[in-house]
């Protein structure tokens, strides 16, 4: 069967070139005589793989030397707990901007460690925009300020990020990492689950400023302590070896495309094609505020649940799959991560145009 255009929010599409490279190396990796899956994580061959993966990520994201890159498990969701466990330790209070389920889940976990102040929220309008806030709203004594840079479910993203001064800014970038250029030095911690824009599920990348390591209180389980993972170079226990290898291939692919600058240009073009159509269409409507539109997750509706269902069904039959919106919001969502080729978006818009004509 031919490959489909997979608009899944995650696990999501991977670049075909990456899958083919992995296929070629699947049974025997270079001169090792074995699959990467069969290698000891302490072997020379594997050490070279993980080191190169980290080095390439540092290069494409331009990560400053005073940041550690960790490859952890437990998904982005474990970071909702691990961050407060390690950092809600001084004044035991934090500030959060609530932009939907993913920040809401982080709030639930952080409340187990202290006081969580929701500085701004767009909950009353089903999170269809990034709420207004002023940099002066942040509490100078907050242990950190927390945001979710791109809300995968509602399709919103921060275009400008808060200026929190000396308060560390922590960002969940699971659904937008590597999609556009960012200045790592503005953040205390950036974290992202792999399965949206970096590779298969199973690893979470944590980019953490050195001074934020080593604050876990006594009694913290070793697996939840950033210092232990940093000191052991993500090898405290067996890391998800094959997933990390796959990340390395994706990072190489990004470099081959011309780096994140070029990826960002393509992503803007891709999202632009879809949003331009939504703005013109009499049937389909974007659901988020124009100023806060995500480049990665494009959410839209027809306004008629039956028509939505018919569209999703017919699109699926044509090879445009996983267009159903998140179960909490309904409608449609086209996730167009880095690996979605521009033709996929163009062909989807062609199909939408045809569907609109036929059902007008
Ligand atoms: C998918 C996602 C998560 C959850 O990731 P898991 O790896 O399943 O824990 C968290 N935050 C955002 C923004 C996501 O898109």
Ligand 1 site, residue 207, Cβ cutoff 6 A:
no
Per-position DSSP letters for 181-237, written without gaps between them:
---GGG-SEEEEETTTTTSSSS-EEEEEEGGGSS-PPTT--GGG-HHHHHHTTT-SS
Ligand 1 site, residue 76, Cβ cutoff 6 A:
yes
Ligand 1 site, residue 174, Cβ cutoff 6 A:
yes
Based on the domain organization, do 34 and 155 belong to the same domain? yes
Based on the domain organization, do 209 and 290 belong to the same domain? no
Ligand 1 site, residue 349, Cβ cutoff 6 A:
no
Domain range spanning residue 224? 16-256
pLDDT digits (tens, 9 = 90+) for 82-92: 999 999 999 99
For ligand 1, the distance from its centroid to the CA atom of residue 192, given in whole angstroms, is 7
Determine the pLDDT at residue 1. Answer: 85
**Residue ending a domain, choose from 210, 231, 256:** 256
Are residues 288 and 154 in contact, defined by beta-carbon separation less than 8 angstroms?
A: yes
Number of domains in the chain: 2
pLDDT digits (tens, 9 = 90+) for 177-205: 999 999 999 999 999 999 999 999 999 99
Based on the domain organization, do 91 and 113 belong to the same domain? yes
Based on the domain organization, do 152 and 53 belong to the same domain? yes
Q: Which tokens is 77 given?
A: 């969701």
Q: What is the mean pLDDT of the chain?
A: 97
pLDDT digits (tens, 9 = 90+) for 24-55: 999 999 999 999 999 999 999 999 999 999 99
Answer yes or no: is 2 within a domain: no
* CATH number of the CATH domain containing 63: 3.40.640.10
Is position 196 annotated as part of the catalytic site? Answer: yes
> Which one is catalytic: 98, 143, 157, 196?
196
**Residue 10 CA, closest ligand 1 atom number:** 1
For ligand 1, the distance from its centroid to the CA atom of residue 18, given in whole angstroms, is 22
As a whole number of angstroms, the distance between CA 349 and CA 143 comes to: 45
Determine the pLDDT at residue 217. Answer: 97
Determine the pLDDT at residue 327. Answer: 84
What pairing do the DSSP bridges indicate for beta strands 285-286 and 297-301?
antiparallel
* CATH number of the CATH domain containing 315: 3.90.1150.10
């Amino acid at each position: 069967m031919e490959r489909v255009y997979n608009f899944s929010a995650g696990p999501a599409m991977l670049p075909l070139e990456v899958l083919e490279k992995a296929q070629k190396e699947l049974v025997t990796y270079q001169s090792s005589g074995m699959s990467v899956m069969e290698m000891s994580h302490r072997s020379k061959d594997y050490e070279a793989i993980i080191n190169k993966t980290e080095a390439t990520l540092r290069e494409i994201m331009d990560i400053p030397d005073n940041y550690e890159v960790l490859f952890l498990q437990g998904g982005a969701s474990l970071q909702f707990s691990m961050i407060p466990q390690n950092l809600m330790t001084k004044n035991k209070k934090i500030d959060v901007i609530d932009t939907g389920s993913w920040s809401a889940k982080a709030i639930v976990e952080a409340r187990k460690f202290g006081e969580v102040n929701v500085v701004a929220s767009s909950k009353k309008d089903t999170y269809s925009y990034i709420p207004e806030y002023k940099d002066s709203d942040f509490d100078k004594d907050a242990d950190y300020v927390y945001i979710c840079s791109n809300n995968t479910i509602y399709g919103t993203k921060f275009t400008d990020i808060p200026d929190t001064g000396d308060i560390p800014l922590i960002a969940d970038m699971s659904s937008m990492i590597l999609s556009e250029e960012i200045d790592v030095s503005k953040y205390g911690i950036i974290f992202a689950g792999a399965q949206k824009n970096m590779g298969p599920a199973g690893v979470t990348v944590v980019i953490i400023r050195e001074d934020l390591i080593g604050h876990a209180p006594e009694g913290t389980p070793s697996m939840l302590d950033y210092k232990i993972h940093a000191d052991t170079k993500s090898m405290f226990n067996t890391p998800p070896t094959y997933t990390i290898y796959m990340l390395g291939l994706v990072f190489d692919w990004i470099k081959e495309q011309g780096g994140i600058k070029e990826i960002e240009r393509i992503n803007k073009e891709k999202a632009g094609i879809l949003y331009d159509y939504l703005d013109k269409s009499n049937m389909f409507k974007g659901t988020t505020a124009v100023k806060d539109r995500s480049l990665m997750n494009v959410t839209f509706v027809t306004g008629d649940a039956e028509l939505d269902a018919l569209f999703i069904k017919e699109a699926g039959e044509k090879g445009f799959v996983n267009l159903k919106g998140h179960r909490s919001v309904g409608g449609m969502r086209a996730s167009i991560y880095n690996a979605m080729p521009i033709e996929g978006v163009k062909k989807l818009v062609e199909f939408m145009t045809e569907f609109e004509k036929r059902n007008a």
